[in-house]
A and B are shown apart, each in its own frame.
Chain A
């Protein structure tokens, strides 16, 4: 380049000198002409220098912060390994037509929503849905307009047990404290008769599911990308990154849709609706594999399953199924609550442990005793009552014995008086507490006398029974 520079300089300076020496021998007219020529040569010289500088300056390129660039010398990528790629910042390359700089945005993460697996919606439909107006649902899907994926149906080994009409009714006897209770239910059988009739082919059942996706990608190998991926020429007034996005969208869309179709056949409709992570991961893997295979230099940043639904045509059935599972969950949790309460009432918080200990031979007596000492509720009441009884019985026996021991010496000394005294005291005590007393003259002779007494119904007793009965 420097050589070229010098040549340009000499080319400009050489022609000027001969003019200066020749001018001395000329007349005034010639003088002024040579003067004009001299000036015009100077101007030319300046212009030339400016042009050369401008030419050289045209080699300056700035690579933006989110870009990477390649230098093409005569159309071929320049440099080896890391030097092939220019990072952000100013760079100087040989001017056109020798070098060319291709700048490609790499930092930019581009989102690409994929709606081609969603059912067809007109503008009115979309507006109608937001306005909560019921739209008419066609009873079938048009393969051209409506988008969907086929998913496999559950294999018979995974299918939940289903109540078949042919299943015999089974009675089960459950024995517990309130006597025998018969619980009857239908035996569950796995029947797949509905599905088999469809295609006449074993295992080719399938379901339909609608889904929406979002793909985020980034260009990570600009060399591969530049060499292999078709990008339209950028026309004046267009931005490269926009043109690039437009150009690669059909490719990405096709590859992505391919991956979705490939992946979805491996999942059931329920797995899809649960939006399990592994489905987008599976799609991610497939997309990346294919993009690598074709050498696109594009990296898939993320794949999201943004929306997924069963077909509107079978909405009722799916909702009913969801409701049923919620209801049965509720029934089970209610039953659990009942069980907890029942056991709590029976034996308090350690009921479960106690139950377990009943059938566990490995538990020592001490451990059992420890458990029973913590018992609460009804069982505790029963045991407490028995303890009270024990104390009462023992104490009573002891009291009797003590009393007897104390009275015995007295009795031995004065048997008649002691007996009399004790007897009289007892009678007195009894009579004091009696509500009514009748003293009757005993009859003599064989003929009995009839005596009729109208007993007062005890008002106290009545009251008691009335209040106790409630």
Chain B
């Protein structure tokens, strides 16, 4: 019994040591390949536990296969129609085929240098095929900005994969600018546009205000005219009603007119009047003579 335990232990230790020599892990974030005496034999892109011959025979090379971002330097290019434009392009890439990658570029640093010059090429080629109006346009339906970026990605993706074993996940333009001199012109135009707009605003405002005022005045006039008309109608009714009473006067028109005249006399001479009266009118004739009155039998 006890003699068995020792060998078991020894075997176990040996197994563990052997495992350390021949086994290796590839993590989820990595890809690897194995060289036998310097000659590549296997490429591993799936994670897990793998075996190989001990080190002098086979070697493992692992690469980080996660996405990296790379931005090219901001640079000037020209669109179709020779309009200068300044763009800054970035890509998101990862090592997809470690073997190809190692053969073509070797290190991330070198890969980035190559990629940058490739980006510039693609940028010039694709942007040169499109006019400025497809980047920015007053008509949104004519803007092809996203399509242009997609076109750049297509132009870029396949050659890079073939040449360097690099997968380009995405590509985009992160700055879209114009040269110094052009910016000056743009400001000039923006000012002119504002000025035009300012004038238009003022003119519109004034026109609107004038319209509101004249409208109100017109409405007022209309209302008052209608009110006058209604007033006339009411007055007419009054006159008509009054006329009904005149029938009652028909019994003795002369007397009625006499009464009416007296009334008018009282009314018109009621205030601030100066009268010149001949001395032979009714009450004043007594100022001259005494009347000869005799009682009637």
Contact = CB atoms under 8 A, between A and B. Distances in A.
Interface stretch (B33-41, B67-75, B112-120, B154-162): B67-75
Contacts of A186: 203
Contacts of A231: 66
A202 to B, nearest CB: 7
Interface in B115-151: 131-133, 135-140, 142-143, 145-146, 149
Given A206-B186, A343-B216, A430-B275, A422 B262 contact: yes
A427 B138 contact: no
A254 B277 contact: no
B190 A207 contact: yes
Interface string A284-310: 000000100111100000000000001
Contacts of A438: 274-277
Interface string A151-169: 1111110001111000000
Contacts of B194: 314, 317-318, 320-321
Interface stretch (A24-32, A87-95, A382-390): A382-390
B175 A257 contact: yes
Interface residues of A, number: 163
A375 B186 CA distance: 59
A185 B208 CA distance: 11
A226 interface: yes
Given A75-B26, A227-B29, A334-B209, A174 B214 contact: yes
A336 B47 contact: no
B239 interface: yes
Contact of A265 (B69, B92, B145): B145
Interface string B5-40: 110110010000000000001111110000000000
Interface in A367-391: 372, 375, 378-380, 382-383, 385-387, 389-391
A265 B280 contact: no
A295 B169 CA distance: 9
B294 interface: no
B265 A430 contact: yes
Nearest to B180: A140
Chain A's interface: helix, strand, loop or mixed, by majority? helix
Given A226-B28, A404-B259, A314 B239 contact: no
Contacts of B68: 230
A311 B190 CA distance: 10
A440 interface: yes
B289 interface: no
Interface string B180-218: 110111110111111111111111111111101111111
B61 interface: no
A354 B223 contact: yes
Contact of A177 (B29, B217, B235): B217
B216 A204 contact: no
A174 B218 contact: yes
Given A186-B203, A250-B69, A266 B214 contact: no
A164 to B, nearest CB: 9
Nearest to A250: B69
Contacts of B190: 207-208, 269, 310-311, 314, 317
Interface stretch (B52-60, B98-106, B243-251): B243-251
Interface in A177-195: 177-178, 181, 183, 185-186, 188, 191, 194-195
Nearest to A249: B69
Contacts of B227: 347, 375, 378-380, 382-383
Contact of B223 (A152, A250, A355): A355
B201 A325 contact: yes
A382 B92 CA distance: 84
Chain B's interface: helix, strand, loop or mixed, by majority? helix
Interface in A313-341: 313-314, 316-318, 320-321, 324-325, 327-329, 331-332, 334-336, 338-340
B42 interface: no
B211 to A, nearest CB: 8
A448 interface: no
Contact of A266 (B81, B131, B143, B223): B143
How big is chain B's contact interface, by range? Answer: 35 or more
B270 interface: yes
A390 B277 contact: no
Nearest to A428: B283
B67 A228 contact: yes
B201 A442 contact: no
A18 B138 contact: no
A160 B197 contact: yes
A203 B132 CA distance: 10
B291 interface: no
B205 A390 contact: no
B8 A7 contact: yes
A396 B263 CA distance: 11
Interface string A380-417: 10110111011111101110110111011001000000
A1 interface: no
B29 to A, nearest CB: 6
Interface stretch (A34-42, A120-128, A453-461): A453-461
A429 B266 contact: yes
Contacts of B215: 339
A130 interface: no
B142 to A, nearest CB: 6
A205 B234 contact: no
B295 interface: no
B267 to A, nearest CB: 10
Contacts of A436: 274-275
A75 B269 contact: no
A55 B198 CA distance: 79
A414 B269 CA distance: 28
A437 B275 contact: yes
Contacts of A206: 136, 138, 186
Contact of B189 (A148, A149, A174, A195): A195
Contacts of B241: 390, 393-394, 397
A401 B177 contact: no
B67 A396 contact: no
Given A176-B218, A181-B214, A205-B189, A435 B272 contact: yes
Interface stretch (A9-17, A57-65, A105-113, A235-243): A9-17
Contacts of A255: 92, 170, 172
25 contacts: A14-B5, A74-B49, A143-B179, A144-B74, A156-B138, A160-B200, A194-B196, A201-B131, A201-B133, A205-B136, A254-B71, A328-B208, A331-B208, A379-B226, A382-B224, A390-B235, A390-B239, A394-B241, A394-B242, A429-B270, A433-B273, A434-B274, A438-B277, A439-B277, A440-B278
Give the 8 A-B residue pairs with the shortest CB-CB distance, closest first: A328-B205, A390-B238, A177-B221, A339-B216, A386-B231, A258-B172, A397-B242, A74-B49
Given A255-B92, A311-B187, A332-B209, 8 more contacts: A17-B2, A208-B187, A254-B172, A321-B198, A327-B202, A339-B216, A351-B219, A439-B277
